[in-house]
Structure 1
Amino acid sequence: MSAPRITGHAKLAGVIGHPVEHSLSPVLHNYWLARHGIDGAYVPLPVVPGSFTTAVRGLQASGFRGANVTIPHKEAAFALADEVETQARIAGSVNTLVFRDDGTIHGSSTDGFGYLASLEAESVSLESLSVRGPALLLGAGGAARSIATSLMEKGMSVIFANRTNERATTLANELAQTWCAHMQSPAPALSTLDWDAWESSLGSMSLLVNTTSLGMQGGPAPEWTPDLSHAAETLVVSDIVYVPRETQLLRCAAARGLKAVGGLGMLLHQARPGFQAWFGAETEVDDATVAHILAVLKNR
């Protein structure tokens, strides 16, 4: 597939982060641009901490349509945006910026959308899960915030387990407060578990989500192998790590006969809202898209 010719009318977007060279977003968006024959480009934008606002204003002045935002700038993006979608306000994090014609900036968080879409693509029903029990999220970072908020919107109770329990408690309290402030209704049940207790508590859970870097290739613990022996047969196990595509957590789930959902789907689906906003076309995560990304990952 050849890339379309880029003209002076090209629609431009990119991903802002530090570091950013590892991001698959340019590969994905430029693949979709070529596939749709759109005159446009999506580029990596390495921006050091402290220069975020200057960089964003420069992109606006240069005619960019917007940008994705990754570590460590998501909180800065939240603060800079003139208008922030409700889910992002609850989560306190923004990963997608849209530059409007009137000079204002719209912020949203698409990680939760991407996560739910990845479950839907694997025929996982959130309605059924919410009846069977709470979701257990491992980790208390930005991804946990976004995913928890999306699950809460589906009516699910959420339990956090983090190696530093204070962070989990702080996150649960903050989400409860921001939910009440922006939704004018009590938040779904939010609670925490000690890190050394979550494995033995799996029997009452309907969904397990690893939002940490545990199990990631090149990460601090690539061979992390949790004990899922206490899990109910109906537990759905998901991992937002996508390198390797099948983590040890997912292998353990498969060995127990549990439904397992990998992280690549979330990565791909979270990009769809931004692509539509910047480039004006709906796109889909189909077999060809997945095959293209897997080929790139294999050669890295």
Structure 2
Amino acid sequence: MTLVAGVAGQPIAHSLSPVIHGAWIAAAGLDAVYERFGPADADGFAELVDKGRAGTLCGLNVTAPFKEQALALADEASATARTCGAANLLVFEDGRVRADSTDGMGLMAALAEQAPALDVRGRPAVVLGAGGAARAAAAALKAAGAEVGVLNRTVERARALADDLGVTVVDVGALGEAALVVNALSVAPTIDLGALRADAVLMDMTYRPLVTPFLAEGRARGLTTVDGLAMLIGQAGPSFRALFGIAPPDVDVRAVALNAMGEAG
């Protein structure tokens, strides 16, 4: 029987997850498909999860705006997902739903790949934003030993995140000491990159475009930058293993994804 998995979000047409997982499925010779699902609203997402419980799907990656709902609908959840307060992965088995979050693993994998000289242990790291992406970033960086600060226009949201995760709320003055600044906003942040350390690393969790205005300005200032595609691929690996029960084959999925985006490597 063909295994059916996919990614659920709204909007979803832009997602590169089917391209990445599809390349691995083909290389592994699996009888499986990985599709895009675009529920219109929370009710639609709940119906999709019910299909998973019924055995129609083996699992889902989940993106905005359904990550918090994904966790709430699960029968069991990993400690990471509970800490983040959201899940980007649901696995269906015997009518039960298991939730996990692989976003943090994706973030750390991206840093290891594109900023290998960075050691966040004991170093200040500033996360821009206070939504689900920011929660995953802050949780992963704290677990890796960083001194995490959250900077957000709405201080109340930043404080709620900080209280939940045991990190701190910071102001723009913290940027001057940061070894790492992660943009977890869906838009370009309005911060003065000239205030950053010369050896600071910038990361953007957005991958369209590959080089966001935030990263482009950082590169122009000579800073090391980490793109969102590296994180997307980094979180996809453990997701693939959970969904299909095997490790991802050795395929250059970054090249495949860049080709789908119409960008050169």
Same fold per TM (> 0.5)?
yes
Match for 2:47: what amino acid?
T
Question: Which of 229, 232, 235 does residue 267 from structure 1 map onto?
Answer: 232
Q: How does 1:104-143 map to 2 (within 5 A)?
A: 104-124=96-116, 128-131=119-122, 133-143=123-133
Distance across 1 between alignment mates of 2:249 and 2:176: 35
SS at 1:160 equivalent:
strand
SS at 1:121 equivalent:
helix
1:247 aligns with 2:224: no
Query: Quick one: structure 1 residues 19 and 231, their matched pair in 2 at CA, closer, same or farther if it must change by over 3 Å?
Result: closer
- The equivalent residue for 1:50 is 43
Q: Number of matched residues?
A: 262
- Please report how far the alpha carbon of residue 285 of structure 1 lies from its aligned counterpart in structure 2 after TM superposition: 7.7
Question: Which of 232, 245, 263 does residue 197 from structure 2 map onto?
Answer: 232
- The equivalent residue for 2:143 is 153
Which structure's relative contact order is higher, taking Cα pairs within 8 Å and 6+ residues apart? 2
Q: How does 1:56-205 map to 2 (within 5 A)?
A: 56-100=49-93, 102-124=94-116, 128-131=119-122, 133-176=123-166, 190-194=167-171, 198=172, 200-205=173-178
Query: Quick one: structure 1 residues 58 and 139, their matched pair in 2 at CA, closer, same or farther if it must change by over 3 Å?
Result: same
Query: Could you tell me whether the CA contact under 8 Å between 2:54 and 2:95 is conserved in 1?
Result: no
Query: TM-score normalised to the size of structure 1?
Result: 0.81
RMSD: 1.9
Identity score, percent? 41
Query: Quick one: structure 1 residues 114 and 121, their matched pair in 2 at CA, closer, same or farther if it must change by over 3 Å?
Result: same
Match for 1:289: what amino acid?
V
Query: Could you tell me whether the CA contact under 8 Å between 2:115 and 2:224 is conserved in 1?
Result: no
Query: Quick one: structure 1 residues 52 and 165, their matched pair in 2 at CA, closer, same or farther if it must change by over 3 Å?
Result: same
Query: TM-score normalised to the size of structure 2?
Result: 0.91
SS at 2:210 equivalent:
coil
SS at 1:51 equivalent:
helix
Match for 1:193: what amino acid?
V
* Runs of 4+ displaced beyond 4 Å: none
Structure 2 gaps of 5+ residues are: none
Structure 1 gaps of 5+ residues are: 1-8, 177-189, 216-223
